Amino acid sequence: MDAAAPLDSALGRVGLIAVALLALAAVITDRPRLRAAAMAGALVLTPVLLVAEIWDTEQFRTFRDRPGFTAALVAGALAALVALAFAMARRPLMLPLLAFAALPFRIPIETAGQTANLLVPLYGVIVAGALAQMPALAAGRRPAGMRDVPPGPLATVLLAFVALYAVQATYADDVSLAAEGLVFFYVPFALLFGLLVRLEWTGRLLTWCLAVVVALALVFAVVGFVEYETRTLLLNPDVIASNAFGSYFRVNSLFFDPNMYGRFLAEVMIALAALAAWTSRRRDIALVAIALAVLWAALVLTFSQSSFAALLAGLAVMAALRWSLKPVALIVAAVVAVGGLAAGAVLAVQGDLPSPRDVNRATVGRSKLVSGGLDLWTDRPLHGFGSGSFQPEYRRKRDLSRPNDVTASHTTPVTVAAEQGLIGLALYAVLVFVALRTLLAGARASLPRVVIAAAFVALLVHTMAYAAFLEDPTTWVLLAAGAALAARQSSSAVSSSSSAT
């Protein structure tokens, strides 16, 4: 790999588009051999682009300067992946279970001039899963545990957004952040989506997946309690520093950010609340109530406002699907009205409106980032500044000097608008619409579909205050499982109608 050929060259940008198209083909096509070839191409090209991106980093130089050690390490990793792939080929249910188990775990990697927290264990699961399916696909056969059904319109729109992101990276002044998004998030998670959307999601498998995430959430909660009691965090020096000067102590357990920890807890709590709402067994309700109490206490210690909002939104959707939309809508409207009256009363007592600085302080800097992102959008409303460009363009516009002054707008639509303009924003809106329609249509008849729909809405709300939409593998897993269950329910309904006729 030539260090003089970085990804911001013409060849590097073409490589980003190529790997996005390979991921698209690996998911969309119904031809097994073409799917295998596209999957293999994405698995080969992605690490090539990754090495090109991190070639000159201090972290990678350790491996570059020790070729013998690096070769042995790569050989060992490949052997482990092949062994895991062989096990997955024999027992296909290992793929979703290991994927759910690996969702929260990140490892810090230096890239694009900063440290990114990457889901390295999940990457291993994705590669092993792809390798497990490739022999059958290359032979023109259906892999064990998979269904011969097209992924549907949701997959098409989802992968179209990935392809557009790669194309719009070509005109960004600095392609490194867009490359990071594609190589570390969009492409591997697209492959994961393709592996899971054709999976046979049985009731037993869904129960096991729920058990995995509940167990993880309880373990994370215990770690968070220990952190709060000892006033010591295990990860993230930024949070440690903010706790040292803050008026309250936030915990992040084994996550790098309290908000991502809170998002995970909220998702699990929504699933447990739905389980309690649909069951009539007192023992199950009691166990779920105990778990919810533990997770609620853990969530409180994150002090994550976005996670509380996400939890409430998910519970509202769950309640509307369990009972009726009208009473839930009335309750939500009443809560909003009471909140508005309370805010108005506070302003009346103060006698004046809060200043922009007060609003920015109350939102922990979010309002300033949003207004700055909207300013960037007005500068280039149609096509934006290019994928991954928010941070450098915002820093340039605001004349910020420190590298860590800003990372993202923390509001996904604002980030999309600033980076990709109306073109990207329109496709993002279509993606959200198609996702909600796919997950919510007919979901009332299926508890797993209710859980997935409510959890996705909660995640969507969270991205309005903390971003990380397609950068979070949970989004892709929920969409894959939701689309698969929706397709199965639709085909069952068609079969029943045909039989009745």
Residue 184 forms part of a structural domain: no
pLDDT higher than 80, residue 181: yes
Are residues 120 and 228 part of one domain? no
pLDDT higher than 70, residue 112: no
Give me the pLDDT at residue 401, please. Answer: 61
DSSP 417-434: HHHHHHHHHHHHHHHHHH
Tell me the mean pLDDT in the region 494-501.
55
Residue 435 forms part of a structural domain: no
Burial level of 495, CB count in 10 A (0-12/13-18/19+)? exposed
Render pLDDT for 15-27 as a digit per residue (tens, 0 to 9).
999 999 999 999 9
Are residues 142 and 13 part of one domain? yes
**What's the DSSP call for residue 355?**
P
Reference 138, options 41, 32, 28; nearest CA is 32
Give me the pLDDT at residue 413, please. Answer: 94
Last residue of a domain, one of 308, 323, 338: 323
Residue 377 forms part of a structural domain: no
Token pair of 138 as six digits: 């290359």
Residue 92 φ/ψ, nearest 5 degrees = -60, -25
Give me the pLDDT at residue 346, please. Answer: 60
CB 427 within 8 A of CB 157: yes
Tell me the mean pLDDT in the region 301-319.
93
Query: What is the pTM assigned to this prediction?
Result: 0.90
Are residues 243 and 109 part of one domain? no
Coarse DSSP helix, strand, coil percentages of the chain, rounded to the nearest 5 percent: 75, 0, 25
Last residue of a domain, one of 112, 136, 152: 152
pLDDT higher than 80, residue 53: no
pLDDT higher than 50, residue 1: no
Are residues 221 and 304 part of one domain? yes
Question: Which stretch of 106-120, 178-192, 370-384 has the lowest confidence by average pLDDT?
Answer: 106-120
Residue 179 forms part of a structural domain: no
C-alpha torsion 218→264→226→118, nearest 10? 120
Residue 229 forms part of a structural domain: yes
* Residue type for position 473: P
pLDDT higher than 80, residue 495: no
CB 149 within 8 A of CB 198: yes
Expressed as residue numbers, the domain containing 218 is 207-323
Are residues 233 and 119 part of one domain? no
Render pLDDT for 239-295 as a digit per residue (tens, 0 to 9).
776 766 667 788 989 888 899 999 999 999 999 999 999 988 899 999 999 999 999
Are residues 224 and 103 part of one domain? no
Are residues 74 and 214 part of one domain? no
Give me the pLDDT at residue 96, please. Answer: 95
Tell me the mean pLDDT in the region 96-107.
92
Sign of CA pseudo-dihedral 183, 479, 436, 317: negative
Are residues 3 and 140 part of one domain? yes
Residue 146 forms part of a structural domain: yes
273-288 burial code (b ≥16 CB/10 A, e <16): bbbbbeeeeeeeeeeb
Residue where the block lists tokens 């500044």: 385
Last residue of a domain, one of 323, 345, 364: 323
Residue 433 forms part of a structural domain: no
Are residues 147 and 5 part of one domain? yes
Mean pLDDT, the chain, whole residue set? 86
Helix/strand/coil for 468: coil
- The domain total for the chain is 2
Are residues 231 and 107 part of one domain? no
- The helix (H) or strand (E) run that includes residue 118 is strand 114-118
Token pair of 399 as six digits: 């004349």
CB 165 within 8 A of CB 379: no
Residue 117 φ/ψ, nearest 5 degrees = -95, 105
Are residues 136 and 20 part of one domain? yes
Residue 420 forms part of a structural domain: no
Are residues 127 and 16 part of one domain? yes
Tell me the mean pLDDT in the region 42-68.
81
- The helix (H) or strand (E) run that includes residue 150 is none
